[in-house]
Every structure is written in structure tokens, then in C-alpha cells.
Amino acid sequence: MKILSIETSCDETAIAILDCQGDEQSATFDVLSHALLSQIEIHREYGGVFPAVAKREHAKNLVPLLQSSLEEAEMLREDAQNLPDEVRTQIGILLERESDMADAFLSFITETERPDIDAIAVTYGPGLAPALWVGVNFAQALSLAWNIPLVPVNHMEGHLMVALAKRDSVNEGRLVIEDVALPVLALLISGGHTEIDLMDEWLSYKLLGETRDDAVGEAFDKVARMMDLPYPGGPEISRLAEKSRQDPEEMNTFILPRPMIDRPDFDFSFSGLKTAVLYTLKDRPDLSEQEREQLAQAFEDAVSDVLISKVFRALEETQAQTLAIGGGVSANIHIRNRFEKEIEERFPYIDLRFPPTGLTGDNGIMIGLAGFYRFLRGEFAEKGTLAADGNLSLSKGAY
Ligand code: KG4
Ligand code: ZN
């Protein structure tokens, strides 16, 4: 079956089309198209994501992105279509607030054939509410126009599913999710979230811990900003830190705190760590380039110590068989290397999984993967009633 998935929870507008086969035990996903428009350049001006701007950009991008996705999947056929008045009215109401998008949407729908797509999947939370709403309403309009089911997807479940996925060794364009030993412990680290969840049965989650203030990615971004590095800061800090690691002879004189590392729970706090970097920079305003690299390294070391310590304790306490690490920060090379090395040493029986290259950050494919499993369970939104939920949590369960 073919799923068209839509993601607009933050600063990427993304659409993917996947041909999905199989079931919960073993599934394959052929990527027919994978389109993404990043707003990074626009948000860079503000040093972070501005919700109203994100919303405006999604509204502008969605119809052109839909068109190019269908084209890439060789599903775009021009042909005049009749849209029943009733459906046109319902779509008009759904897209009322985005009048430019509504016009572009209606002309697209009435000028192209309905493609061979079986369902739409869309992120309905968590994320920036104004940004989520644009995607949700667009998806609802599409599901009405094509008269196919709409599957609501939790963004974090998307990050988890793509972390469990592997690229097929022969067919590069195919992802496979199979042989997943339960329970799965999920460490989800992104710009908006930092949490540890236990999936003891397929698609059923218990939140073990989360951040009480900043998300890890947010801390990377803020520290980068203090150091005058561009947004998003994660890759920039990582680049500096790696330079420092190539020079192991040099003593790193920066020592940063590891907040909440000794507490017996699984919660995190990164704002104190961020403030410690701020004070260091205030105390020593003219750091050399080498010292800046060392400070970046000290920050990454502190972050990874905390993540490893909490996750390892969760592994001990839960009998998890699989550890899946997902979200934008899972691209971080140092965090990956440390988990790989230390899991091998301390928990050799654990199956450690990271997202395939290029799929750590927000994308449409991850929403399609999670959408497939929810589709298999028949979790569809009633026509025109889906609401975005900026604070949606994984433990809420089915839509
Ligand atoms: O999952 P994601 O794309 O968006 C959210 O759902 O938030 O995560 C974005 C976050 C940003 O904070 C970015 O700085 C961080 O992921 N990030 C990284 C790296 N690449 C992206 N953080 C650390 N190291 C990286 N290599
Ligand atoms: Zn994300």
C-alpha cells in the first residue's frame, strides 16, 4: 500500500511517498519520493525558529512540495477533475486561514488526477502549534479531496521508527524494520525534546524520564549562539569539538557540570550546563580558537556523560533488549561513538540502533513509517476533525 506523509512540526516542510509492505513483525518501505524544504536559512536570522514564520513558510511550500513529490514518484498526471461542491466547501472551511494555500490547493486538485495513494499520514504533535496546524489542515483537505483515510502520527514515534529502520543492503531506496527485540528503550534527543521511553509492547509506551527544562538540541543551539556560531548549533559545536579531540595531547582545562547525573530518576536538566558555559565565556571573553574547541568538547562530554548514565541505568532496570536512539541530535558523531563503544562493553546483548544516514533530523519518511503501523491498526481521523496538539506525548497511545 502507498502512503503519502506530511511533516510540518518545526522548521522543515517535508513530504514522502512510501510503498509499504508487511506487518508489525517485518515491514519494508520503498521510498518513492522524499522531498524536504528546510527553513534553516530563514530562521538563522532570528537565531532560532520563529513559529509565525515557520507557519507562513509551510503554507507557502506545501502545494509545490506535493507537486514535486508526486512528480518524483511518477504519479503526477494532469487532467481536469470535477470536485463535488460539498467537498469544495469543506476544503474551503479547512483552509480558510491560509487563503493563498487554499487557492493553490484547489487549482492543483482540480487539474491533476487522483494518484494511486491509499492513505495520508500527518504529524499532529508534538511541535509548534501554528506550524502543526498548517500540515494537519492541508492533510485533512487532501484526504477529503482524494477520499482516502487520514492517519494521525506522533512526531516522536516517527523519530523512533526511523531509528529502528535499516537500509536494505541491496536496494538503497528501501528501508526495513524487522527483528526488533522487545522491550525497546528509546532515547529521543531533538531540538524540542529529550526523553527516555520504554516500548514494552509494539506501539505502547511508558515515559521513564524527560528534560525538565531545555532539550539537548536546544542546549546545543543556545551554546552555539553564545559562541557566535550559526543556527542550528548542533553540527557547529560538534565540528569544533571534533577538532579538539584530534589533539588529545592538549589538556582540556574546562570542566562543566553534569546536571542531575546522580539522581535516581531518568529526568534531565540542561539549562544549568548551558549557564555554566555562559559564565565561562563571561569570565574569559577572549578565548583562543583552540580554547573554543576545548569548550565545545567539554560541553559535548558533559552531555554524553549524562545521556549515557541515565540510559544505562534504564537498561539495567528495564530488561530492554533493544536501544533505539533517534532525533536530530542522534546525528552527533561523539554521542554515537560513545554509545557504540560503551554498549558493546557493558551491554553486549543489546541491539543498538540509530537512524540511517540523512534521516536523523525531521523528514517525511519517518512519519510515513509510523503512519504505516497506525494504518495497520485502523487508526484514522474522522473527516475534518483532526486537531493539532503541540504537547502530544507518546504515552497517550492511540489517536
Ligand atoms: O529532530 P530535529 O531535526 O528537530 C526537532 O524535532 O527538534 O532536531 C534538531 C536538533 C537541533 O537542535 C540541532 O542543533 C540538533 O538537532 N542537531 C545536532 C546535530 N545535528 C543536529 N546536535 C548535535 N550534534 C549534531 N551533529
Ligand atoms: Zn524532530
- Distance (Å) from CA 252 to ligand 2 centroid: 32
Q: How confident is the model at residue 8 (pLDDT cuts 50, 70, 90)?
A: very high
pLDDT per position as a tens digit, 299-318: 999 999 999 999 999 999 99
154 Cβ contact list (under 8 Å, min separation 6): 123, 124, 125, 126, 370, 392, 394, 396
- Distance (Å) from CA 214 to ligand 1 centroid: 13
How does 294-326 read in b/e, with b if 16+ C-beta sit within 10 Å? bbbbbbbbbbbebbbebbbbbbeebebbbbbbb
Residue 195 has pLDDT above 90, yes or no: yes
What is the best residue among 155, 156, 190 to mutate for testing ligand 1's pocket, by most ligand atoms within 8 Å of CB? 190
Cβ count near 45 (within 10 Å):
10
Q: Residue 63 belongs to what H/E stretch?
A: helix 51-72
**Which ligand is closest to the CA of 128, given by its number?**
1
Q: What are phi and psi for residue 125, nearest 5 degrees?
A: 160, 170
Task: Spell out which residues line ligand 1, taking CB within 6 angstroms.
Answer: 10, 190-192, 217, 220-221, 232-235, 238, 327-329, 331-332, 361-362
Rounded Cα distance, 351 and 340, in Å? 10
pLDDT of residue 339: 98
Q: How confident is the model at residue 396 (pLDDT cuts 50, 70, 90)?
A: very high
- Distance (Å) from CA 7 to ligand 1 centroid: 16
User: Which atom of ligand 1 has the smallest separation from the CA of 331?
Assistant: 26
User: Which atom of ligand 1 has the smallest separation from the CA of 11?
Assistant: 4
Cβ count near 328 (within 10 Å):
27
User: Which of 33, 12, 21, 24 is closest to 365 using CA atoms?
Assistant: 33
User: Which atom of ligand 1 has the smallest separation from the CA of 327?
Assistant: 1
* Per-residue H/E/C for 157-211: HHHHHHHHCEECCCCCCEEEEECCCCCEEEEEECCCCEEEEEEEECCEEEEEEEE
pLDDT of residue 98: 86
Q: What are phi and psi for residue 127, nearest 5 degrees?
A: 155, -165
Q: What is the mean pLDDT of residues 3-16?
A: 97
- Distance (Å) from CA 63 to ligand 2 centroid: 22
User: Of how many residues is the chain composed?
Assistant: 399
Residue 106 has pLDDT above 80, yes or no: yes
**Which ligand is closest to the CA of 232, given by its number?**
1
Q: How confident is the model at residue 251 (pLDDT cuts 50, 70, 90)?
A: confident
Residue of minimum CA distance from atom 26 in ligand 1: 332
- Distance (Å) from CA 328 to ligand 2 centroid: 6
Ligand 2 (ion): residues with CB under 5 Å are 190, 362
Q: What is the mean pLDDT of residues 257-275?
A: 96
Residue 250 has pLDDT above 80, yes or no: no
C-alpha cell at 1: 500500500
Residue 207 has pLDDT above 90, yes or no: yes
- Distance (Å) from CA 69 to ligand 2 centroid: 21
User: Which atom of ligand 1 has the smallest separation from the CA of 193?
Assistant: 7
pLDDT of residue 39: 85
Residue 249 has pLDDT above 90, yes or no: no
Q: How confident is the model at residue 216 (pLDDT cuts 50, 70, 90)?
A: very high
pLDDT of residue 390: 97
Q: What average pLDDT does the chain have? A: 96
pLDDT per position as a tens digit, 344-376: 999 999 999 999 999 999 999 999 999 999 999
Beta-sheet strand order (sheet of 204-210): 204-210, 194-201, 184-189, 322-326, 351-353
- Distance (Å) from CA 216 to ligand 1 centroid: 8
pLDDT per position as a tens digit, 16-56: 999 999 999 999 999 999 999 988 888 787 777 888 889 99
Q: How confident is the model at residue 120 (pLDDT cuts 50, 70, 90)?
A: very high
Identify the residue with better confidence: 52 or 179. Answer: 179
Identify the residue with better confidence: 248 or 225. Answer: 225
Cβ count near 85 (within 10 Å):
8
Residues in a beta bridge with 29 = 20, 175
